[in-house]
Amino acid sequence: MPQVAAASTPADLPTEELDWIQMRKDFAGVHAETTKEKMVRKINENPLVPIGCAATLTALGFGLWNFRQGRSQMSQYMMRARILAQGFTVLALIIGVGMTYGTKEPPKK
């Protein structure tokens, strides 16, 4: 007949498991940011990046549509507009990162 193990006592538990229990107690009141909340926060921090992404997507879509319709001149124009919109987006991203980096507080020791 197999022996039934006795209930574990805190002395029997490995220290790693006790660390996890303590960590759960320490972070019990902390709210974890959801993906949607993070996206809204990032858009509010730097609203020019989503605007640039939308402009890039619009220029690309309109350019491809014109290419399909056989309007090569307008298609070329829209592809150039796409490049400008991409440049605007990258520039907005770099400026936003620089502004965010400049406003962060140094870590406390």
53-90 pLDDT tens trace: 999 999 999 999 999 999 999 999 999 999 999 999 99
Separation between Cα atoms, residue 15 and residue 62, nearest integer Å: 61
Could you tell me which residue, 57 or 104, shows the higher pLDDT?
57
- 99 inside domain: yes
According to the model, what pLDDT value does residue 61 have?
Answer: 97
Q: Is residue 23 part of a domain?
A: no
Q: Is residue 49 part of a domain?
A: yes
State how far the Cα of 97 lies from the Cα of 100, in Å rounded to an integer: 5
Quick one: DSSP state of residue 98?
H
Q: Is residue 7 part of a domain?
A: no
30 belongs to a structural domain: no
37 to 27, 29, 51, 97: CA distances (angstroms): 19, 18, 19, 19
Per the structure, the count of domains in the chain is 1
Range of the domain at 54: 36-103
3 within some domain: no
